[in-house]
């Protein structure tokens, strides 16, 4: 019975994904809507900075703040006492 439920769930997920892909037409993105006012495009350097460097920088900043502001005094794990 477990294999039957897994197949059913897989078929449902595949069918849902297929229907979503068929219903969303990327070709409609080429026709501008009323009120669209696209700005100038980004250069390669701007794109890499925005989508690669900025997230890595934010991750490093948050990691650094967590490490610096950590209040625990124990840096070494305690050894288990032998009885």
- Output the CA angle 4-5-6, nearest 5 degrees: 90
Handedness of CA 42, 46, 49, 50 (dihedral sign): negative
- pLDDT tens digits, 28-75: 667 777 777 888 999 999 999 999 999 999 999 999 999 988 877 666
pLDDT at residue 39 in the model: 85
Q: What is residue 37's DSSP assignment?
A: -
- DSSP one-letter code for 69: T
Better-scored residue on pLDDT, 79 or 67: 67
The mean pLDDT of 13-25, rounded to a whole number, is 86
Domain ranges of the chain: 42-71
Q: What is the DSSP-derived secondary structure letter of residue 29?
A: G
């Amino acid at each position: 019975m477990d294999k039957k439920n897994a197949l059913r769930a897989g078929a449902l997920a595949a069918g849902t994904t297929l229907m979503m892909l068929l219903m969303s037409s990327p070709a409609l993105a080429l026709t501008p809507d009323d009120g669209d006012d696209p700005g100038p495009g980004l250069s390669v350097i701007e794109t890499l900075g925005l989508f690669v460097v900025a997230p890595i920088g934010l991750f490093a900043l948050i990691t650094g703040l967590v490490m610096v502001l950590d209040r625990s005094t124990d840096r070494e794990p305690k050894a288990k006492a032998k009885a």
